[in-house]
Structure formats: structure tokens, C-alpha cells
């Protein structure tokens, strides 16, 4: 298990790219408060989010281990694992592709909708936990698709939480300055969704195909960035 730790640490870095929406919401929620209280909100918000995420991962793992046959379609046996993988994959693929098309169409909703209000610390913390947990569904599904080990999921989620605690403002600022990064993020989520769908059908996405598509997504993002800079110039 420990020999896989470097891989889990790397996947934790990858998972951080899926959490930029959480970082944006978190930074918008703490505006107007003093520096000390902002740090407290970020810390306890991430702790609460981690607990909620891990609980969701436990549910995802439980559903994904069901092997008993519920019914058959032709020669295809449908199990709780099949339904969990297929449902999660379809959700992730659909939501990510919709976000990607909305990005290209320039129809994304403004994510910085949070306004500084004089709510009590506990109220803001509870609100952050609920919203960030909802925003975490795609990340939880992606993490469940990255590893089948609880230890691995714990490390991946932990790395993401630590990085956001240290650099949450920088992450939010980077995404605002480089929105084309979302092309890579949404493409990655779509591929994870496709991988889960194929696993439900007892197939797999070749690693070479995965890597090629990601390289294309990165190239498209760089091209979009270059065009943006040229237009501004």
C-alpha cells in the first residue's frame, strides 16, 4: 500500500484541479472578514468538507462493491456495482461535457456570486460545508474512479485539502486570470466519466487514448490562451 503513496500524492495534485470551483466559492464567502477569521474559516471549512467527502467516498465504494446479480439483459448481468459505475459515469460525463460546451459558448454562470455579509462564524462555516459538499460530487466520483483503496482516497482528498488551505486565494486568482484552464479540467472529468461507464460495461479506456486526449485538451487550452493574449494586444 505504501509503495503506491507517490501515485496517490500525484493523484491528489490532479484532484486539486477539480476543486477550483470550491476554491472560488470559499474565497467569495470569506470576503469582508479579518485575516485571522478568514484563516479559521478556510481551515475548519476544509476539515468539514474532508469529512463529508470521505463519507461520500465510503458510500461510493460500498455501492461499487455490490456483486450480486439484480437482473440480466440478454447475457449482460446487472449488479449494484454496474448500476453505481454507470450512474456515476453518466453523471460525470454529462455534467462535465455540459460545462465544457457552456464554456465554449460563453454561457458559464458567474461563480463569484458570494457576497460579504455579517453572518456569524458558525453560519458561514455551515453554509460553506453544505455548498462545498454539493460541489464535491464530481470530485468524489472522480476519486472513486482513480482508486479502489480507502487509503488512496484518503490521501488524494487530503492532498487536495492541504494544497487549497495553503493556496486557496492563489488558485482562485489563477482560474480567474486563466479561464481556459477549465478546458483541461472538464476534459479530464469527461474521461473519468467515460472510464466509469466502460468499467460498468466490463471494458476499459486504453491509457494511450486517455493520454492523447489530455494532450489535445492542453494544446487547445494553450491555443485559446494565445488567442486571448493576441486579441488583448
List Cβ<8 Å contacts ≥24 apart for 9-13: 9/155, 9/159, 11/143, 11/146, 11/147, 11/152, 11/156, 11/159, 12/155, 12/156, 12/157, 12/158, 12/159, 12/160, 12/163, 13/159, 13/163
Residue partners of 155: CB distance under 8 A and separation at least 6: 5, 8, 9, 12
Cell of residue 134, nine digits: 454539493
Q: Give the residue extent of every domain in the chain.
A: 2-232
Give strand pairing partners of 16.
none
- pLDDT tens for the chain, 233 residues long, are 667 788 888 888 878 877 777 776 777 677 667 788 888 888 998 999 899 889 988 888 877 666 677 778 777 777 777 777 788 788 878 878 888 888 878 765 544 444 444 467 888 888 778 777 777 777 888 888 788 888 888 999 999 899 888 887 777 677 667 778 878 878 877 887 888 788 888 787 788 888 888 888 888 888 877 776 555 55
The pLDDT value recorded for residue 50 is 92
Q: Which phi and psi angles does 71 have, rounded to 5°?
A: -165, 170
11 and 151 Cβ atoms separated by less than 8 Å: no
The pLDDT value recorded for residue 116 is 40
183 and 103 Cβ atoms separated by less than 8 Å: yes
Cell of residue 128, nine digits: 460553506
The pLDDT value recorded for residue 233 is 54
The pLDDT value recorded for residue 47 is 92
Distance of CA 192 to the CA centre of its chain: 10
Helix (H), strand (E) at residue 182: helix 181-200
Q: Which phi and psi angles does 15 have, rounded to 5°?
A: -60, -30
Between CA 48 and CA 125 the distance in angstroms is 9
- CB-based burial, 151-182: b 16+ in 10 Å, e otherwise: ebbbbbbbbbbebbeeebeebbeebeeeebbb
Cell of residue 153, nine digits: 482516497
Between CA 20 and CA 86 the distance in angstroms is 25
122 and 132 Cβ atoms separated by less than 8 Å: no
- DSSP-derived 3-state class of residue 179: coil
Confirm whether pTM is higher than 0.75: no
Between CA 188 and CA 182 the distance in angstroms is 10
Amino acid at each position: 500500500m505504501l509503495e503506491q503513496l507517490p501515485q496517490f500524492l500525484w493523484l491528489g495534485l490532479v484532484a486539486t484541479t477539480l476543486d477550483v470551483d470550491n476554491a472560488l466559492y470559499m474565497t467569495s464567502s470569506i470576503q469582508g472578514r479579518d485575516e485571522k477569521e478568514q484563516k479559521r474559516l478556510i481551515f475548519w471549512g476544509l476539515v468539514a468538507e474532508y469529512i463529508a467527502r470521505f463519507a461520500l467516498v465510503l458510500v461510493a465504494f460500498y455501492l461499487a462493491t455490490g456483486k450480486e446479480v439484480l437482473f440480466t439483459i440478454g447475457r449482460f448481468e446487472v449488479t449494484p456495482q454496474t448500476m453505481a459505475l454507470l450512474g456515476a459515469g453518466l453523471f460525470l460525463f454529462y455534467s462535465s461535457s455540459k460545462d465544457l460546451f457552456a464554456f465554449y459558448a460563453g454561457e458559464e454562470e458567474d461563480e463569484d456570486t458570494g457576497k460579504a455579509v455579517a453572518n456569524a462564524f458558525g453560519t458561514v462555516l455551515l453554509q460553506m460545508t453544505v455548498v462545498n459538499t454539493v460541489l464535491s460530487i464530481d470530485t468524489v466520483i472522480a476519486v472513486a474512479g482513480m482508486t479502489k483503496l480507502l487509503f488512496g482516497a484518503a490521501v488524494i482528498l487530503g492532498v487536495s485539502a492541504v494544497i487549497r488551505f495553503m493556496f486557496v486565494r492563489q488558485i482562485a486568482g489563477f482560474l480567474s486570470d486563466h479561464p481556459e484552464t477549465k478546458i483541461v479540467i472538464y476534459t479530464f472529468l469527461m474521461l473519468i466519466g467515460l472510464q466509469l461507464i466502460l468499467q460498468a460495461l466490463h471494458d476499459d479506456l486504453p491509457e494511450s487514448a486517455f493520454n492523447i486526449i489530455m494532450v489535445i485538451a492542453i494544446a487547445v487550452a494553450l491555443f485559446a490562451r494565445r488567442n486571448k493574449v493576441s486579441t488583448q494586444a
